[in-house]
């Protein structure tokens, strides 16, 4: 039977929930800020352009999708951890173990090892037909575990030999086989003198009851909903602190002034000459080069009239 390939979501959900929070945060920062920072200084125009696009937020939706996906997996891990604790605490005897599915049986064994101080990784590679179901780590040593919920027959030597081969292949320190029933005499003889521990159903239920009585559950603050929510809020605050400000100062508008084209000096004010003090006198009009023939004739006419008025009103000076 082919082994089922686990997705990235399932792999993160099998980890402690705080690892899912951390992976999501690191992935967000790497995509949203790291790509732009790294590629913007590249000498390649293409890579530099990608870096500028990333810094401008082109890949921000991808970063948010990764963050949300990892946090959903972390939430699934948190909920699953609570269910495993409840699963172990609710067992009453060998009959309750028989009513479990093979998947629940693996989860129960994993929780029992976890309360004994092991770091437990549920591989999901074993399935109902065999293989490695759990990987235990403690004091720098790795132990492989296979769970067998066989109710109507004993575990034979073939299963023990297969697990011993996996021990050598993965260079693990030991192997544990957890079965609901018992083992054949050949299986026990093969396991004798080797780092293989055969655990039958009676020993498993005795261990579960011992853990229930001593309440050897993880009472770390990390197992509380407050820790989960607090870590998410702290991560969002960090993201907000790293995000660029949304308010930008508009660039100054450069206004070029062509003084020669726009400057128009105002003409100096020249007062007009006042009229003659004589009530009948009219101002003398001078000819201009810009006058046409009609204006010149009008000027001569008005000038003659002015001279006549001056002759009548001006007294002759007596000659001495």
Q: What's the pLDDT at 13?
A: 85
Domain boundaries, the chain: 1-85, 90-218
Cα 138–143–146 angle (5° rounding)?
Answer: 135
Q: How far is CA 280 from its chain centroid?
A: 97
Q: What's the pLDDT at 147?
A: 93
Strand partners, 148: 179
pLDDT digits (tens, 9 = 90+) for 215-235: 645 456 777 888 899 999 999
Q: Is the pLDDT of residue 250 over 50?
A: no
Q: Mean pLDDT, the chain, as a whole number?
A: 80
Cβ atoms < 10 Å from Cβ of 184: 16
Instruction: Decide: pTM greater than 0.85.
Output: no
Q: For strand 141-148 and strand 174-179, is the pairing parallel, antiparallel, or unpaired?
A: parallel
159: tokens are 């299963």
Which residue matches tokens 């990987």?
135
- Which of these CATH numbers, 2.30.30.60, 3.40.1350.10, 3.40.640.10, 3.40.50.300, describes 90-218? 3.40.1350.10
pLDDT digits (tens, 9 = 90+) for 27-61: 999 999 888 888 888 888 888 888 888 888 888 99
């Amino acid at each position: 039977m082919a082994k089922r390939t686990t997705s990235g979501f399932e792999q993160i959900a099998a980890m402690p929930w705080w690892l899912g929070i951390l992976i999501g945060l690191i992935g967000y920062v790497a995509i949203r800020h790291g790509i732009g920072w790294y590629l913007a200084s590249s000498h390649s125009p293409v890579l530099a352009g990608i870096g500028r696009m990333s810094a401008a937020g082109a890949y921000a939706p991808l970063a948010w999708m990764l963050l949300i996906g990892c946090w959903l997996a972390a939430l699934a891990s948190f909920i699953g951890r609570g269910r495993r604790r409840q699963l172990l605490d609710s067992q009453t005897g060998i009959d309750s173990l028989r009513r479990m599915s093979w998947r629940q049986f693996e989860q129960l064994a994993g929780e029992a090892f976890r309360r004994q101080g092991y770091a437990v990784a549920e591989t999901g590679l074993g399935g109902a037909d065999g293989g490695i179901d759990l990987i235990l780590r403690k004091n720098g040593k790795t132990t492989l575990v296979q769970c067998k919920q066989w109710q109507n027959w004993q575990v034979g030597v073939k299963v023990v030999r297969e697990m011993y081969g996996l021990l050598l292949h993965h260079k693990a320190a030991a192997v544990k086989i957890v079965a609901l029933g018992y083992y054949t005499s050949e299986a026990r003889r093969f396991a004798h003198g080797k780092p293989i521990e055969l655990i039958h159903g009676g020993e498993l239920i005795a261990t579960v009851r011992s853990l229930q009585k001593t309440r050897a559950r993880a009472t770390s603050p990390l197992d509380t909903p407050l820790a989960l929510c607090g870590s998410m809020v702290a991560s969002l605050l960090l993201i907000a602190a790293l995000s660029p400000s949304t308010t930008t100062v508009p660039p100054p508008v450069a206004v070029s002034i062509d003084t020669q084209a726009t400057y128009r000096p105002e003409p100096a004010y020249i007062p007009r000459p006042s009229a003659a003090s004589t009530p009948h006198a009219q101002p003398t009009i001078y000819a201009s080069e810009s006058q046409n023939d009609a204006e010149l004739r009008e000027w001569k006419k008005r000038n003659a009239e002015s001279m006549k008025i001056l002759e009548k009103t001006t007294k002759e000076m007596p000659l001495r």
